[in-house]
Amino acid sequence: MSIRINLDVEMAKQKKGLTELAGEVDITLANLSILKNNKAKAVRLSTLNAICKALHCQPGDILEYVPDEENKEEN
């Protein structure tokens, strides 16, 4: 997939752990972990909104487009 989720980077910047963020966003630890580890195939806008509110960031701080050539090198 050409979209990379950099949630782990934003969490580190804000010094927030999974449990703390999951509580603030009202999402299960399992689902937040899927997002954090860049394994998600989709994300609801309401979830993205809650994450951005909790981390005081913009959606572009979390989501990044990576051209297919760069993406293939990682797989």
* Residue extents of the structural domains in the chain: 3-74
pLDDT given for residue 74 in this prediction: 55
- CATH code for the part of the protein at 3-74: 1.10.260.40
Distance CA 75, CA 69 (A): 10
Amino acid (1-letter code) at residue 52: C
SS3 content of the chain, % helix, strand, coil (to 5): 60, 10, 30
| Span 11-67, pLDDT tens digits | 999 999 999 999 999 999 999 999 999 999 999 999 999 999 999 999 999 999 998
pLDDT given for residue 68 in this prediction: 79
pLDDT given for residue 72 in this prediction: 59
Supply the pTM of this predicted model: 0.83
